[in-house]
Structure 1
Amino acid sequence: MSVPAPIVFDGHNDLLTRLWQAGGTTALDQMVIGRAGAIDLPRAKTGGFGGGFFACWVPSPEDQPLEELHALMCQPSYDIPLPVPIAWDEGMRVLIGQAALLLEMDRRGLLRVCRSTAEIRAAMEAGVMAAIFHVEGAEAIDTDLDALDLLYAAGLRSIGPVWSRSTPFGHGVPFAFPSSPDRGPGLTEAGKRLVTRCNELGIMLDLSHLNEAGFWDVAKLSTKPLVATHSNAHALCPHSRNLTDAQLDAIAESDGMVGLNFAVSFLREDGRKIADTPIEDMLRHLDHLIGRLGEDRVGLGSDYDGAVVPEAVSDVSKLGVLRTAMAEHGYGEALIAKICHGNWLALLDRTWSD
């Protein structure tokens, strides 16, 4: 079976969390034979999924049942309270478990953990899934930042200071519609130190989930391009998780990038969590992002295995549907290749230290 082109390098997935929840290393065989989620090796080959940012994320112990959250987010409006912060020791326990899974997958040849764009390109050319070690929410990082240096040595190359709850570094946005992302205060002093140290090490900062005040704090402090790995346009879907045009303009000015989030709640004009969402909603957001950021600063940030996505692209085997839709929408081959992987690799060239 030939692999579809162009290969997709994706800005965000939650595979590690799902495998960890399913039993850790005992669940890894499912990656080879097929699993119930969105990403495995057979589906990746079918859809031309070449890898991306693999997130380590700490679930909240007190999370509402998924059925209740789904029902709430199908309403015309909602404002789900932020989960309580995670203690450092719990954050570290979960992070170690998920990071160990990522490294074990590398050892088994299921993917290759990459620390440079040269390594990403080499993995993709060899037909091996390329993985960036990413932390979504810095609960496992101490305010002295010792853990950050340790994790960098283990391969960490991307971090989001917050998920949608507060950390010692800053504040996330709740899942709220309609809502501005301007919810709560900006970075803490520890958060400002985190930005500086990530810049020094060459760890990419992911602004998805960070509230607007925190976003502008990073914009003032960071010497690197501003990046939101999995966020959409607030002008088209006024969800707290989406980026305003002013934020998009700041990202463009920094020569940064945004990855289109496939989550239906951030795509639909009505903000509802309904899988029966047309792929045209994805194209609307791509058009808007390209209009504000330019063709060289937009990619994909699927949120696979972490969100309800349109049925037409429900897992990585169906990425060809999106490629076809982009072509039929009028995007040329060169632009589609940029969106699928070229822009992410160029962004990382601008961001990571040698």
Structure 2
Amino acid sequence: MTSESVVPVFDGHNDVLLRLWKAGREESGEAFLAGEEAGHVDLPRARIGGFAGGLFAVYVPSPVEPATAATGGDRPEPLTPSMAEARRISFEMISILSRIERAAAGAFRLCRSAADIRAAMATGALAAVFHIEGAEALDPELRLLDVLHQAGLRSLGPVWSRPNIFGRGVPFRFPSSPDIGPGLTDRGRALVRACNELGILVDLSHLNERGFWDVAEVSTAPLVASHSNAHALCPHSRNLTDRQLDAIRERDGLVGVNFGAMFIRPDGRKDPATELDLLIRHVDHLVDRIGLERVAIGSDYDGTTVPHALRDVSHLQALVSALRHRGYDEAALRRICHGNWIRVLERTWGE
């Protein structure tokens, strides 16, 4: 692979902070910078694969993590962590993120604006955006939201796939419609409004369909699903229906294509032998439905089982090559791989 063939990838979702937190080591941030065999994402492999940065999720696991069936299908509904537990774990992950930036000597930068992302990419630094997936750490009055925004929070999913005081996440079910249960609570609507005021992106990826439409009604920002695929091609509850995609197009939002095998395959299986062509079909469907300028990458690295061809960030250019082979030109590749994310973040953040 020549250097000229590399297209930088800005990714809408990874769970590397969760992986490092689970490792339980003080030096976990150092392992990320030096490189390790575990997981999908670290700095040396990012440089090999053209991983330019993305949204780094702070996600608090459920007290007892439910197992996923081999089909990627139904799970028991996971338990919701308490606010105290969610805060403890969230702060520990935010600390890991901060320590990585401090130890990286400029090679890893926490970005608060689109200008920050462009500057980091221009110098070869990894551009990280602080994202929260599931708002269980937030108080009902949203006082902590102000503090976290000052600390760099620029993207937030009100729920993961479980209920909390802000709404109900979509359960993992296959085959299933995403129309499962009630949507946002009044507190959830207030959270969306507060995010709009602060310039924090509201992520739709783990909301059920009712919650999706609640956000569409309340929010004044582009509708964004950071790591979701097309329900028409894989009828998993986590994927977006064509009607939802139409709303994202109308609001000039964005969908980040998820690499998770169970969200790609028509049979919903968690199979690393999944062909890359199945993922490309999701890209094609999204481009046809919502337009090239609204399709991006949302890998879900370190959070799901991915196709072997994309087994970690060092192999990201395999996806770029597959898209080239499909007929996407260099301008289209730059939009899908990073330009579309930067555009929608700049519009959402207003900076």
In the superposition, the TM-score normalised over structure 1's length comes to: 0.96
Quote the offset at 1:74 in angstroms: 2.8
Which residue, out of 89, 96, 107, partners 2:91? 96
User: 2 CA distance for matches of 1:275 and 1:294?
Assistant: 29
Quote the offset at 1:353 in angstroms: 2.8
DSSP 3-state at the match of 1:25: coil
Which residue, out of 56, 59, 68, partners 1:57? 59
Matches within 5 A, 1:137-286: 137-286=134-283
Give the paired residue count: 347
DSSP 3-state at the match of 2:163: coil
DSSP 3-state at the match of 1:55: strand
DSSP 3-state at the match of 1:236: coil
DSSP 3-state at the match of 1:61: coil
User: 2 CA distance for matches of 1:25 and 1:248?
Assistant: 42
Q: Tell me which residue corresponds to 1:129.
A: 126
For 1:82, give the aligned amino acid.
Answer: E
Q: Tell me which residue corresponds to 2:310.
A: 313
User: 2 CA distance for matches of 1:282 and 1:13?
Assistant: 17
For 1:8, give the aligned amino acid.
Answer: V
For 1:63, give the aligned amino acid.
Answer: E
Residues 4 and 134 of structure 1: is their aligned pair in 2 closer, same or farther, counting only changes over 3 Å? farther
Q: Tell me which residue corresponds to 1:20.
A: 21
User: 1 CA distance for matches of 2:49 and 2:16?
Assistant: 16
User: 2 CA distance for matches of 1:324 and 1:206?
Assistant: 28
- State whether residues 82 and 173 of structure 1, in contact with CA within 8 Å, keep that contact through their aligned partners in structure 2: no
Instruction: Confirm or deny that 1:48 pairs with 2:50.
Output: yes
- State whether residues 3 and 45 of structure 1, in contact with CA within 8 Å, keep that contact through their aligned partners in structure 2: no
- State whether residues 17 and 56 of structure 2, in contact with CA within 8 Å, keep that contact through their aligned partners in structure 1: yes
Quote the offset at 1:2 in angstroms: 4.6
- Which 4+ stretches in 1 moved above 4 angstroms? 1-4
Note the residue ranges of structure 1 that are not aligned, 5 or more in a row.
none
DSSP 3-state at the match of 1:272: coil
DSSP 3-state at the match of 1:158: strand
Q: Tell me which residue corresponds to 2:39.
A: 37
User: 2 CA distance for matches of 1:302 and 1:322?
Assistant: 11
DSSP 3-state at the match of 1:350: helix
Q: Tell me which residue corresponds to 2:286.
A: 289
Deviations 1:233-264 (A, max 9, x none): 00000000000000000001000000000000
User: 2 CA distance for matches of 1:177 and 1:326?
Assistant: 28
DSSP 3-state at the match of 1:255: coil
User: 2 CA distance for matches of 1:18 and 1:3?
Assistant: 32
For 2:117, give the aligned amino acid.
Answer: I
User: 2 CA distance for matches of 1:86 and 1:212?
Assistant: 23
Quote the offset at 1:4 in angstroms: 5.4
Q: Tell me which residue corresponds to 2:7.
A: 6
The CA RMSD over aligned residues, in Å, is 1.3
Note the residue ranges of structure 2 that are not aligned, 5 or more in a row.
none
Q: Which shows bigger deviation, 150-159 or 3-12? A: 3-12
Deviations 1:290-348 (A, max 9, x none): 01110100000000001100000010000111111000011111111100000000111
In the superposition, the TM-score normalised over structure 2's length comes to: 0.97
For 1:326, give the aligned amino acid.
Answer: L
